[in-house]
Amino acid sequence: MDAFEKVRPKLETQPQEEYEIINAEVKHGGFVYYQEGCCLVRSKDEEVLFNLEELKLDQPFIDSIRVAPDEKYVAAKIRTEDSEASTCIVVKLSDQPLLEASFPNVSSFEWVKDEEEEDVLFYTFQRNLRCHDVYRATFGDNKRNERFYTEKDPSYFVFLYLTKDSRFLTINIMNKTTSEVWLIDGLSPWDPPVLIQKRIHGVLYYVEHRDDELYILTNVGEPTEFKLMRTAADTPAIMNWDLFFTMKRNTKVVDMDMFKDHCVLFLKHSNLLYVNVIGLADDSVRSLKLPPWACGFIMDTNSDPKNCPFQLCSPIRPPKYYTYKFAEGKLFEETGHEDPITKTSRVLRLEAKSKDGKLVPMTIFHKTDSEDLQKKPLLVHVYGAYGMDLKMNFRPERRVLVDDGWILAYCHVRGGGELGLQWHADGRLTKKLHGLADLEACIKTLHGQGFSQPSLTALTAFSAGGVLVGALCNFNPDLLRAVTLEAPFLDVLNTMMDTTLPLTLEELEEWGNPSSDEKHKNYIKRYCPYQNIKPQHYPAIHITAYENDERVPLKGIVNYTEKLKEAIAEHAKNTGEGYQSPNIILDIQPGGNHVIEDSHKKITAQIKFLYEELGLDNTSVFENLKKYLKF
């Protein structure tokens, strides 16, 4: 809240269509640490602690900041827009701040203080997108850096989390369906770690701490959805876990925050957002339904025990601050200028019935004064993998499209996580085709209820969302006029059979193992976009790929594009004169990042493609876009 008050005058006086992305910052003691220009600075006088230009990186930015308990050191993870590689710097805080150390390829990192009042930095080392090693380092006169833990199973990923009260550092070892957590005593970090519960296939759990008790968010037991359990910190094994709080059916746990006397759960239930405030003294529960326009949470780093601040956002509305005050037992929203989009647009929540009768939620946005929606362009979004929600954070280009008359539809198909863990389970491995059936049902329902028509419908996805989009283009291309894909996963079979790729072993729980399981292999062949290309009519397709993308290798995207063009050419030859072949565009961007959200060049190219393929006038859309993007 202090950080917000610092920029409030600027926010209240600037035009509403402008917005600012706040970089990583953290409050510790009486200071706020944040990025200003190309420097890591510390308030109150914007003291420069480190100039990022010393790293000789192209447009570096600070991804996250951690301050040592006694503020003797500050560590910051630094990245660039065109790479997933990161560098962790450690700066000694003194009259003349000094760069103490620099570690490459750091994923997560946290500080603790040992019995000798010495600051210890724990960090994980990432190599080829795999994170298996934990290190600990000290600085000053007693400088050392040693490997502390190595995970032997290549299908698991390791990350660090410091409990809210800083009492324990947790080592979290996870794959897509199973986890294991070790505790490092924040008062004795050199002691051997304590295992909470050995990994059990299919059991996920996360740990917080308060007053010598562990609060465990886990899916153990029936139903296999997340529930909150607790146990004494000195008896952490699973047989001692007591059920504390259960979620309603069709609920996704987005996050959990722990306070002195309260536990706050951030939830998505039946496609609407809620906050549950649990009183730990009396086990009371207060459930707050949040505004219907809200589609996502943005969590704030917070050290104030009296308040729980967070932000709400939607694809067409910039984030808005809210604070739950425990003493008053009320939720307060940021006051000031109300975004006009709340009056000029509508948000609808509908359901489509899939082939097997499952009801699939959709979130739809359009202008309130739109007439004859059947003649308006429609942009459909989908993901449906890894139990992850479809991204619904604010994107200025989506706001511009709605202002220009577009309908936006977000289809929360199986394989994603919007309705909980079972929703994911029903769309992975040999149930992947459920997600395709859901997507097809969503688009048909939209058309059937008067939202646009096939000739004005476009479909967009990134990364693993490309699997469902590519499959729909093969099996029912007449539902669409155009498609935009970014870093799409299109060759599932060949990728999952190549164990030399960085993520193949980690992804076996999602897609299956076609190398050793014939059932998995045959099932993947049924839906894999690359494997099912055939001579037929296809929608126009624009693909953005990244030259050095380690997650989705460029080779697979190029092979898909070439095979698709060959099939279209064969279809055109068989059809004869007069057939208009669709445009297939592969736009290869430099860099090694997986997805670059804020690339103005990419955004402009995709919007230009959509307007041209749907035969729309783009005169005003680019003028409006300039209000949001700094060209």
118-132, 153-167, 324-338, 353-367: range with lowest mean pLDDT: 324-338
Please determine, for residue 18, whether its predicted confidence score (pLDDT) is greater than 70: no
Please determine, for residue 14, whether its predicted confidence score (pLDDT) is greater than 50: no
pTM of the model: 0.92
Parallel, antiparallel or unpaired: strands 262-269 and 296-299: unpaired
pLDDT grade, residue 594 (50/70/90)?
low
Please determine, for residue 399, whether its predicted confidence score (pLDDT) is greater than 50: yes
Q: Choose, from 463, 491, 542, 599, the residue flagged as catalytic.
A: 463
463 is catalytic: yes
20-24, 57-61, 613-617: range with lowest mean pLDDT: 20-24
Parallel, antiparallel or unpaired: strands 584-589 and 194-197: unpaired
What dihedral angle (degrees, nearest 10) is formed by the CA atoms of 522, 527, 531, 533?
150
594 is catalytic: yes
Q: What is the mean pLDDT of residues 454-462?
A: 97
Taking each helix axis from N to C end, the angle separating 600-613 and 396-403, rounded to the nearest 10 degrees, works out to 30
Please determine, for residue 631, whether its predicted confidence score (pLDDT) is greater than 50: no
Q: What is the mean pLDDT of residues 29-52?
A: 85
Please determine, for residue 630, whether its predicted confidence score (pLDDT) is greater than 90: no
Distance separating alpha carbons of residues 112 and 186, to the nearest angstrom: 6
- Listed residue (270, 351, 252, 261) closest to 306, CA to CA: 261
**pLDDT, tens digit, for every residue of 188-211?**
999 999 999 999 999 999 999 999
> Where do the DSSP E strands lie in 482-536?
482-486
Q: What percent of the chain has pLDDT over 90?
A: 72
**pLDDT at site 255:** 94
**pLDDT at site 619:** 84
11 vs 506, more confident: 506
- Listed residue (88, 127, 80, 131) closest to 111, CA to CA: 88
In which residue are the tokens 């600070």 written?
Answer: 62
Please determine, for residue 5, whether its predicted confidence score (pLDDT) is greater than 70: no
Q: What is the mean pLDDT of residues 540-554?
A: 90
**pLDDT at site 16:** 37
In which residue are the tokens 């968010």 written?
Answer: 217
Is residue 311 within 8 Å of 297, Cβ to Cβ?
yes
**pLDDT at site 342:** 77
Q: What is the mean pLDDT of the chain?
A: 90
Please determine, for residue 500, whether its predicted confidence score (pLDDT) is greater than 60: yes
Q: What is the mean pLDDT of residues 468-497?
A: 96
Please determine, for residue 21, whether its predicted confidence score (pLDDT) is greater than 50: no
**pLDDT at site 404:** 93
State the sign of the Cα–Cα–Cα–Cα dihedral 318, 324, 208, 77: positive
Question: 285-292 long-range contacts, Cβ below 8 Å, gap at least 24?
Answer: 285/245, 286/329, 288/324, 288/331, 290/322, 292/347, 292/349
Q: Choose, from 82, 119, 404, 549, the residue flagged as catalytic.
A: 549
Distance separating alpha carbons of residues 200 and 167, to the nearest angstrom: 26
- What domains lie within the chain, and their CATH numbers? 345-629 (3.40.50.1820)
**pLDDT, tens digit, for every residue of 239-257?**
999 999 999 888 999 999 9
55-64, 149-158, 240-249, 444-453: range with lowest mean pLDDT: 55-64
138-142, 515-519, 555-559, 561-565: range with lowest mean pLDDT: 138-142
| Phi, psi dihedral angles at 604 (to 5 degrees) | -65, -45
Please determine, for residue 576, whether its predicted confidence score (pLDDT) is greater than 90: no
Question: Over the range 398-421, which residues count as b (16 or more CB within 10 Å of their CB) and which as e?
Answer: bbbbbbbbbbbbbbbbbbbbbbbb
Q: Residue 435: helix, strand or coil by DSSP?
A: helix
**pLDDT, tens digit, for every residue of 344-371?**
899 999 999 999 999 999 999 999 988 8
What dihedral angle (degrees, nearest 10) is formed by the CA atoms of 414, 419, 421, 423?
-20
DSSP per residue over 85-114, as a string?
EEEEEEEE-SSS-EEEEEEESEEEEEEEE-
